[in-house]
């Protein structure tokens, strides 16, 4: 049996409700049984133009001259009709002689003995919403068309911050479709802190002054935080009255990516993936970054070892010092020692001056030894000494050079297997194997493929100025069913190929590389996949499982003995959604 709410519980509940309604810009005031005002929230002050201290203790009809109640007391009407509440629309003139369209709810209040003790009145301004809808959706269709075709994101809000218009560029930047955000608070996208976009837009609406060229962040549909530059301004009607606000948003992701590429300042936000296989790595990287321990990163070609090394360095205390990369497989054996450890004048013919090596260049920072499995045995002993003592002899020198470096090594070969084959020193392997991270291949984290496709497509299309902003269902099915032996790097190359060939807004199978096109399902002349009892039965089976599992994809996939990616693809094909 449910526990009854105590008086204290009710007081807490009403306090929370009161604060919530104020945040949503919904006006609330209460009166006692004699219709004297007993409380008046902030939103009520804003909507009516009256301050709480001015109205407390006064009769409501004296303050509002009955026009807020359409000339008659709905309080007593609700009581006499024995109704829990009455809802009605009314035209109201506020203290500043501005007319507002108000939706009002009147609710009688009773004590525990069911004695009438007063009334709560809740009201919200519909004026801005109605005018914006009329202006943007109907009265100014040309304006709507222009806004829809701009390359910059544009959205408008009511005076209370609810989104009323959302152009195509805003959809592309945020990942939301307009029907998903219309009527929702702008804070859904822009945050609600003192310096966040929603607050700046609210300030522009309140004082009529534009806030221009403001940097901030926007939260996308997949909860990713992207950098933006925005302008916020008040939106006025023909009479010059402020009826809402307008924001223009420019995606700074490309500029941010270019700056990171120039400075190599990659952060945790650059690591993409939600699959448990990659999340295990992401979860421990912040802890690893704080230490100075040697890190060994293993993974197949194209899994992101280079990026992970940069992220670890940039999150460490050495971030302000250099990170120097040495590709052990790219340098000839006879040059590798001099490149890594440097040489002194006269060390060999042509050495006419001292030259510092990569370890000296990385002093105070990090050295990244990529493809360390290809390091010659002759150099492995010297590297072991650097790991143990942080010192070495440059080529041709009798003087020890000391360095303070952190070593991150990476390989696409199993070092343990190389040790067994006597191609890698066992003692060096154990020195490197302090912290070992294994990056899974893309086929081991297939659930991340749609996320990686979306992220990569946005980055590449922005950088190259392509129109294509999405992938057709057929093309997505091809991409989801490919094995990706080249992993994330191969996926990026495939999408870059598609963007070069695609001159439209949507990437189709014909834009993909030829080797991917085998096995693409053929569509009928009307553009639909073949239908039949088998497909209909499968759709019903999936829909039933989704409903049984409250639309949770993981649990549904387990019940159907189906991969989550396959389930997602079939939900898209059959247009299944909650």
Domain layout of the chain by residue ranges = 14-124, 129-251, 264-439, 444-574
In three-state secondary structure terms, 230 is strand
Of 48, 39, 54, 53, residue with least CA distance to 68 = 48
DSSP assignment of 138-175 equals IITHHHHHHHHT-SSEEEEEETT-BEEEE-HHHHHHH-
What is the predicted pLDDT for the residue at 257? 57
What is the predicted pLDDT for the residue at 474? 84
What is the predicted pLDDT for the residue at 126? 58
What is the predicted pLDDT for the residue at 188? 86
Please give the angle made by the CA atoms of 443, 446 and 452, to the nearest 5 degrees: 110
571 phi, psi to nearest 5 deg: -65, -40
Contacts of 417 (CB under 8 A, 6+ apart): none
Task: Give the pLDDT of the chain (578 residues) as one tens digit per residue.
Answer: 344 444 444 444 455 555 555 555 677 888 888 888 988 888 788 777 888 888 899 888 777 765 556 556 666 666 666 555 566 667 777 666 776 667 677 777 777 667 788 888 877 665 544 554 444 433 345 556 556 666 678 888 888 888 888 888 888 888 888 888 888 888 888 876 667 888 899 898 888 888 877 888 888 887 778 888 888 988 877 677 788 888 888 877 755 554 454 444 555 555 677 778 888 888 888 889 889 999 999 988 888 898 899 889 988 899 889 899 988 887 777 788 888 888 888 777 677 788 888 999 999 999 999 989 888 888 888 888 888 888 888 888 888 889 999 999 999 888 888 899 888 999 999 999 999 999 988 888 887 888 788 878 877 776 565 666 678 888 888 888 888 888 888 898 899 888 888 877 788 888 888 877 654 443 333 334 334 444 456 677 788 888 888 888 877 877 776 767 677 777 877 778 77
Same fold, 14-124 and 129-251: yes
**CATH number of the 14-124 domain:** 3.30.450.20
Tell me the C-alpha to C-alpha distance, in Å, between residue 543 and each of 251, 528, 531, 533, 557.
Answer: 37, 20, 17, 15, 12
**CATH number of the 129-251 domain:** 3.30.450.20
Separation CA 100–CA 14 (nearest Å): 27
**CATH number of the 264-439 domain:** 3.40.50.300
Separation CA 237–CA 174 (nearest Å): 28
DSSP state of 137: I
Query: Residue 251, exposed/middle/buried by CB under 10 A (0-12, 13-18, 19+)?
Result: buried
What is the predicted pLDDT for the residue at 408? 94
Of 147, 139, 142, residue with least CA distance to 167 = 147
Of 93, 87, 90, residue with least CA distance to 102 = 90
Please give the angle made by the CA atoms of 35, 36 and 40, to the nearest 5 degrees: 110
Pick the CATH number of 444-574 from 1.10.486.10, 1.10.460.10, 1.10.8.60, 3.10.20.740: 1.10.8.60
DSSP state of 548: H
C-beta separation of 251 from 174 below 8 A? no
- pTM here? 0.51
C-beta separation of 116 from 108 below 8 A? yes
CA-only gyration radius of the chain, Å? 33
């Amino acid at each position: 049996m449910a526990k009854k709410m105590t008086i204290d519980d009710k007081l807490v509940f009403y306090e929370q409700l009161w604060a919530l309604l104020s945040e949503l810009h919904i006006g609330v005031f209460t009166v006692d049984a004699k219709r004297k005002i007993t409380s008046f929230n902030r939103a009520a002050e804003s909507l009516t133009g009256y301050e709480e201290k001015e109205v407390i203790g006064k009769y409501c009809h004296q303050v509002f001259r009955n026009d807020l109640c359409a000339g008659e007391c709905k309080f007593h009407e609700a009581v006499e009709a024995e109704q829990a509440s009455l809802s009605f629309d009314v035209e109201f003139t506020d203290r500043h002689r501005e007319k507002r369209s108000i939706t009002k709810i009147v609710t009688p209040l009773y004590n525990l003995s069911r004695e009438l003790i007063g009334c709560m009145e809740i009201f919200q301004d519909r004026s801005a919403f109605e005018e914006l809808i009329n202006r943007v959706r109907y009265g100014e269709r040309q304006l709507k068309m222009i806004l829809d075709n701009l390359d910059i994101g544009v959205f408008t809000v009511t005076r209370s911050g609810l989104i009323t218009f959302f152009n195509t560029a805003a959809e592309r930047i945020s990942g939301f479709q307009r029907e998903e955000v219309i009527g929702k608070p702008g804070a859904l996208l822009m945050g609600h802190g003192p310096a966040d976009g929603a607050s700046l837009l609210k300030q522009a609406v309140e004082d009529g002054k534009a806030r221009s060229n403001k940097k901030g962040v926007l939260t996308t549909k997949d909860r990713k935080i992207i950098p933006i530059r925005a302008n916020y301004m008040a939106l006025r009607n023909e009479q010059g009255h402020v009826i809402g606000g307008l924001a223009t948003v420019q995606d700074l992701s490309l500029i941010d990516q270019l700056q990171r590429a120039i400075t190599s300042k990659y952060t945790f936000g650059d690591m993409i993936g939600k699959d448990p296989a990659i999340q295990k790595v992401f979860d421990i990287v912040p802890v690893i970054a704080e230490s100075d321990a040697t890190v060994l990163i293993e993974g197949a070609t194209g899994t992101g070892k280079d990026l992970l090394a940069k992220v670890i360095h940039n999150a460490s205390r050495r971030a302000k010092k250099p990170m120097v990369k040495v590709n052990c497989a790219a340098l000839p054996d006879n040059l590798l020692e001099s490149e890594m450890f440097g040489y002194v004048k006269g060390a060999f013919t042509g050495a006419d001056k001292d030259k510092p090596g990569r370890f000296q260049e990385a002093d105070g920072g990090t050295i990244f030894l990529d493809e360390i499995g290809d390091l010659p045995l002759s150099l492995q002993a010297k590297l072991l000494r650097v790991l143990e003592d942080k010192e070495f002899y440059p080529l041709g020198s009798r003087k020890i050079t000391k360095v303070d470096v952190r070593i991150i090594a990476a390989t696409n070969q199993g070092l343990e297997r190389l040790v067994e084959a006597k191609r890698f020193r066992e003692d060096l392997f154990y020195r490197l194997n302090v912290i070992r991270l294994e990056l899974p291949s893309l086929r081991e984290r297939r659930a991340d493929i749609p996320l990686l496709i979306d992220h990569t497509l946005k980055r590449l299309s922005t950088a190259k100025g392509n129109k294509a902003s999405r992938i057709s269902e057929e093309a997505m099915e091809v991409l989801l069913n490919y094995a990706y032996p080249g992993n994330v790097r191969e996926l990026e190359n495939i999408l870059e190929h598609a963007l070069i060939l695609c001159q439209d807004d949507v990437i189709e199978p014909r834009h993909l590389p030829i080797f991917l096109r085998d096995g693409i399902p053929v569509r009928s002349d009307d553009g639909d996949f073949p239908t039949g009892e088998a497909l209909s039965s499968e759709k019903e089976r999936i829909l039933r499982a989704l409903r049984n599992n409250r639309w949770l994809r993981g649990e549904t996939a387990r019940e159907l003995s189906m991969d989550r990616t396959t389930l997602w693809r079939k939900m898209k094909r059959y247009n299944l959604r909650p």
